[in-house]
Structure 1
Amino acid sequence: MNPHALNSIAPRAMMVHLWRYRELIGRMIKRDVMGRYKGSLLGLAWSFVTPIIMLIIYTFVFTVVFNARWGVDGEDSKSVFALQLFAGLIVHGIFAEVLTRAPGLILANTNYVKKVVFPLDVLPLIPLGSALFHAAISTLVLLLAQLIVLGSLPWTFLLLPFVLFPLLVLAMGVSWLLASLGVFLRDIGQTMGLLATMLLFLSPIFYPISALPESFHGLIHANPLTFIIEQVRVVLLEGALPNTAGLLKYLVISLGVAWVGFAWFQKTRKGFADVL
């Protein structure tokens, strides 16, 4: 790449960058995933073990301690709740990893900023790719659990990538934005952990929206995770078709956020070296 070239902020430039550096992005995601488990005895097996353990803990707390149910009578309610819970956690996990890791990406890779001519705009995509990898494994665990508990899988689970795509586009834009802001405002990294926790409990993960008073429905629907969580459950657990019109609207908004995040990153990247 030419270090003296101007960084275009056009929407087309965003797509060109993603395609041009696709191999580099793939290699860095692989290195990030492998580096997380490097030196551990179980290695990549932790990516299976961790979601299973968390599923057991959350299910025990909310079905035994708090006696929560998902509107299903009988003994099957606990199993249904566990599947509903796991589906929501998968969606939240993707967005939460981007929120918590993006602000520190540039700070953790100062050598790319100061010493090397490097396409910095690919760095914010690394946590998203890593989160997607772990979400894929968690989804596999969910499908196996559903097959054991319910005895079958609906064909609509094949539509899951189409349901998640708008969220991934949104997360990409947020990652670009936070990666830049994290250089200039170091407090961003601290607040994102709090925001991720807030989104966890303000999303319909541990409860259905119908269990809340109507006065709170607007707040829950304003959460960007709510719609995707519900649509994931529709295609994975209910065997129904997703809300296509809603997904298209979500995608249009996500593309706008992605472009804003990309443009902001490109405009501010020249100041990274001075601040670092």
Structure 2
Amino acid sequence: MFGYLKYRDVILTLTKYEFKQRYRGTVFGVAWSLVVPFLMALVLYAIFSQLLHRTEYRILYLIVGIFFYRYFSMGTSIGLNAVTGKAHLVTKTTIPREILPLTTTLAYGLSSFIEMVILLPGIIHFGGDISYFFLLVLLHPIYVLLVFGLNLSLSAIEVYFRDLKEIWSVVTQLMFFMLPIIYPIDIIPVNLLPYYMLNPLVRLLNAYRDVMIYGKLPDLFDMIYVLLVTFGILLIGHAIFKKLEKGFVERL
């Protein structure tokens, strides 16, 4: 199933290419990735300040949530085009096709990690506790694997169903409100909370905030749950990708 991981040189080369392409033609590079989320945070803070006043480290709570969501939104929105956007590599080379969504996921995952590390001075300035910030190097790969599992399914389905891009844009917008970004979890009705917590991104976002601003170890049960769901998403993604890739060349 994971035989394509043997192509380390190809994976590294394509990941570097994807990473550079994201900032190609820009003067300030990764700095632009910070400007938009910060402006968005300012607007949302002004609008939803009453909700955020119920949280600790209000502005940090919001900023970490936005940067966390940003990787899900951009990583999957670009990732679903990983195969159709590189049709020439599918039709003219023999590299394993799984490498295409993998390198896109890795490139945007690296960009996301850099953005979050750059937040460190601001977190310190606003009084966040960074005692366990180093655990981000363990949390983020889990997030990358989760997004990769989604991208395997999305990129394969998109070859056959090109309207998926429009549908997924709606899904990512809905996910912004389905995650505790602009509100605290305690506003969720008690009877709905167990269903709300089924979303692994909710638990993973809590873990990010724990290590980035609260100085706490992530909840062990939450992390076990996220790992199990991530593994399941990866298995399903691989199964869908392998089943559908037989028709890639004809469809492209």
Instruction: Verify same fold: TM over 0.5.
Output: yes
Structure 2 CA distance for aligned equivalents of residues 43 and 241 of structure 1 = 33
Q: Which of 117, 129, 132 lines up with 2:106 in the alignment?
A: 129
Contact 2:61/2:209 (8 A) holds in 1? yes
SS at match of 1:120: coil
- Counterpart in 2 of 1:102? 79
- Counterpart in 2 of 1:42? 28
- Please list, as runs of the form range in 1=range in 2, the aligned pairs for 1:182-221 lying within 5 A after superposition: 182-221=158-197
Which stretch shifts more, 104-113 or 162-171? 162-171
SS at match of 1:222: coil
Number of residue pairs matched?
Answer: 252
Paired amino acid for 1:87: V
Structure 1 position 27 matched with structure 2 position 25:
no
Q: Which of 114, 117, 121 lines up with 2:94 in the alignment?
A: 117
Contact 1:99/1:193 (8 A) holds in 2? no
Which stretch shifts more, 201-210 or 88-97? 88-97
Which stretch shifts more, 52-61 or 250-259? 52-61
- Counterpart in 2 of 1:254? 230
Which stretch shifts more, 194-203 or 164-173? 164-173
1:270, distance to aligned residue in structure 2 (A): 1.8
1:21, distance to aligned residue in structure 2 (A): 2.3
1:261, distance to aligned residue in structure 2 (A): 0.9
Q: Which of 10, 14, 17 lines up with 2:4 in the alignment?
A: 17
Q: Cα deviations across residues 113-166 of structure 1 (Å, max 9, x unaligned)?
A: 22222221111113322321232232123321111111x643211112323333
Structure 2 CA distance for aligned equivalents of residues 96 and 127 of structure 1 = 13
SS at match of 1:68: helix
Structure 2 CA distance for aligned equivalents of residues 25 and 135 of structure 1 = 18
Structure 1 position 68 matched with structure 2 position 51:
yes
1:196, distance to aligned residue in structure 2 (A): 0.5
1:58, distance to aligned residue in structure 2 (A): 2.6
Cα distance change, pair 204–124 in 1 and its aligned pair in 2 (3 A): same
Q: CA RMSD in A?
A: 2.1
**TM superposition outliers: structure 1 runs of 4+ over 6 Å:** none
- Counterpart in 2 of 1:53? 39
- Counterpart in 2 of 1:147? 124
Q: Cα deviations across residues 162-218 of structure 1 (Å, max 9, x unaligned)?
A: 233333222111111111000011121111111001111111111111023324323
Contact 2:158/2:164 (8 A) holds in 1? yes
Q: Cα deviations across residues 59-101 of structure 1 (Å, max 9, x unaligned)?
A: 23322xxx333425xxxx7xx2110011112222222223212
Structure 2 CA distance for aligned equivalents of residues 250 and 111 of structure 1 = 35
Contact 1:204/1:220 (8 A) holds in 2? no
- Counterpart in 2 of 1:4? none
SS at match of 1:105: coil
- Please list, as runs of the form range in 1=range in 2, the aligned pairs for 1:78-97 lying within 5 A after superposition: 80-97=57-74
- Counterpart in 2 of 1:272? 248
Q: Structure 1 length as normaliser, TM-score?
A: 0.83
1:274, distance to aligned residue in structure 2 (A): 1.0
Q: Which of 123, 130, 145 lines up with 1:169 in the alignment?
A: 145
Task: Structure 2 unaligned segments of length 5 or more: list them.
Answer: none
Contact 2:79/2:101 (8 A) holds in 1? yes
SS at match of 2:218: coil
1:259, distance to aligned residue in structure 2 (A): 1.9
Structure 1 CA distance for aligned equivalents of residues 58 and 147 of structure 2 = 27
Structure 2 CA distance for aligned equivalents of residues 162 and 43 of structure 1 = 25
